[in-house]
Amino acid sequence: MTRGPSAIVIAGPSGVGKGTLIEKLRQEFPTLFGFSVSHTSRAPRPGEENGKHYHFTTAEQIESDVAKGKFIEHAEVHGRHYGTSVAAVETVREQGKICILDIDVQGCRAARAKELVAKYVFIAPPSVEELEKRLRGRGTEEEAAIVTRLGNAMREIQAKDEKGLFDAVIVNDQLDKAYAELKELIKGDVEEAIKAQA
């Protein structure tokens, strides 16, 4: 396997602010981070581009590639297939970038099982009430989807203390504070990526 900076796995319930934190990292360090582009069988949302936000494909194709061992993790979430291919993560590492994986708890377990070298971080909400407020405030989901996501959130939050799963749990209460904690956690990886790109 090609050497390069190790990856960062970011998990946490829908609406907790993972995307917001990742976007801040990418804004502060535009060249250091890369996304492994996930595969999904769900339909693109407005503005999403194939190969950039996701590789949009079919459930059958994902299942076939999973069977061939081409995925680090895969899952069915809210009735749709999602997965991260080995190739997608390698592509980012080969560019000397820190690969960010935004995956669910089950995906983290699978990545651990596949021995993906990474910092595993769980982003937790200050409370379930606050999580619900953020999900509604974002305005991207219908009522039924919000209820499903909140149900899943309860299960995800329970996994945050699972032995050997996460290296750190960051509570996203004040965004700037959570961001500072995240940066501190990955300081060494950032320095390594800067060196790799020098």
Ligand X SMILES: Nc1ncnc2c1ncn2[C@@H]1O[C@H](COP(=O)(O)OP(=O)(O)OP(=O)(O)O)[C@@H](O)[C@H]1O
Least separation, in Å, of the C-beta of 170 and ligand X? 11
Among residues 3, 26, 42, 45, the one annotated as catalytic is: 45
Q: What is the spatial distance between Cα 52 and Cα 36, in angstroms, rounded to a whole number?
A: 9
Locate 7 and state its tokens.
């990856």
> Which chain residues interact with ligand X by CB under 6 A?
12, 14-20, 134, 137-138, 172, 175
Examine the residue annotation and report whether 80 is marked as an active-site residue of this protein: no
List the beta bridge partners of residue 173: none
Q: Which is nearer to ligand X, 65 or 131 (CB)?
A: 131
Least separation, in Å, of the C-beta of 27 and ligand X? 13
Least separation, in Å, of the C-beta of 60 and ligand X? 25
Three-state secondary-structure class, residue 33: strand
Which single residue is written with the structure tokens 């069977």? 67
Three-state secondary-structure class, residue 31: coil
Q: Which is nearer to ligand X, 65 or 81 (CB)?
A: 81
**Identity of residue 73:** E
Q: Which is nearer to ligand X, 30 or 137 (CB)?
A: 137
Least separation, in Å, of the C-beta of 141 and ligand X? 8
Q: Residue 196 CB: number of other CB atoms within 10 A?
A: 16
Q: What is the spatial distance between Cα 166 and Cα 45, in angstroms, rounded to a whole number?
A: 30
Examine the residue annotation and report whether 138 is marked as an active-site residue of this protein: yes
CB 100 within 8 A of CB 25: yes
List the beta bridge partners of residue 99: 34
CB 92 within 8 A of CB 34: yes
Examine the residue annotation and report whether 93 is marked as an active-site residue of this protein: no
Q: Which is nearer to ligand X, 94 or 181 (CB)?
A: 181
- Positions marked active-site: 45, 138, 149
